[in-house]
Structure 1
Amino acid sequence: MPIWADAIVAVLLVVGGFAALVGAWGLVRLPEFMLRLHAPTKAATLGAGCALAALAVHFYFLDGPLSLRYLIPLGFVFITAPVSAHMLARAALADARRDDA
């Protein structure tokens, strides 16, 4: 595996880990539910995306182009994270409206 590919994998893993750390920190430190919902959703998508991209790059150089199947879970993350955040936000808004009435 070329050294530049190792560098790409390392950078993707560091960026993904940093994104996950920022998302976890935002989940703990932000004051309001909607803000706490936003931070880990965006960060989890970026963190998982970078980690899976690093996995795909690493195994591309070891196994060849067939290793791009590691990008398939990335599609599921990109679909399920925003949808679940949207559903949680709608439930929170409905609950807030019910409390106001």
Structure 2
Amino acid sequence: MMHLEQLPPWAAIIIALFVVIGATLTLLGGVGLVRLKSFYQRLHAPTLGYSYGTLPIILASMLMFSLTEQRLVVHELMIGMFILITTPITLLMLGRAALRRDRDRKLGHDEIVPPRNRPEPPTEEPAKDA
């Protein structure tokens, strides 16, 4: 097993570049969250920043551990796939909830939407024998 002190300089530079690029993209997503004005704009910036920032950091991690352990390390791809799949889904669900909230407010609905009343099926009365 190779120690970090034995990591080739070219690999350390590439790993550092990937980490800096990934951290910068993630930071830009966070800045967009703070700077943008509407809720819908605030959803968009962090989603792109976190999704795109994850990829270079995962590549740096894979490269570093593959070199130090002297074998191919790819289990970080599962972490990346999880983040790349769940982040847009979270954006979609938050956006839909906000859109419904805004539509209900515009239509004058209460904050709590009561469940729909379903009509009850007609009941048959027992026949009376006379």
Q: What residue is the counterpart of 1:68 in the other structure? A: 74
From the CA coordinates, give the structure whose radius of gyration is larger: 2
> Which structure's relative contact order is higher, taking Cα pairs within 8 Å and 6+ residues apart?
1
Larger relative helix fraction: 1
Equivalent residues in 2 for 1:85-96 (5 A)? 85-96=91-102
| Number of residue pairs matched by the alignment | 100
Q: What residue is the counterpart of 2:55 in the other structure? A: 49
**Deviation sequence 1:52-85 (CA, Å, 0-9, x none):** 11101111111211x1112210000010000000
Q: What residue is the counterpart of 2:45 in the other structure? A: 39
Taking only the aligned residue pairs, the percentage that are identical comes to: 36
> Post-superposition shift, 1:2?
2.7
Segments of 5+ residues of structure 1 without an aligned counterpart are none
Alpha-carbon distance in structure 2 between the residues aligned to 1:19 and 1:41: 11
Q: What residue is the counterpart of 2:123 in the other structure? A: none
Alpha-carbon distance in structure 1 between the residues aligned to 2:103 and 2:9: 56
Q: TM-score, normalization: structure 1?
A: 0.93
Alpha-carbon distance in structure 1 between the residues aligned to 2:14 and 2:31: 26
> Post-superposition shift, 1:9?
0.7
> Post-superposition shift, 1:7?
1.6
2:18 maps to which of 12, 25, 30: 12
Alpha-carbon distance in structure 2 between the residues aligned to 1:34 and 1:61: 42
2:101 maps to a residue whose letter is D
Give SS of 1:68's match: coil
> Post-superposition shift, 1:4?
2.0
Q: TM-score, normalization: structure 2?
A: 0.73
> Post-superposition shift, 1:13?
0.4
Q: What residue is the counterpart of 2:122 in the other structure? A: none
1:52 maps to a residue whose letter is I
Q: CA RMSD in A?
A: 1.0
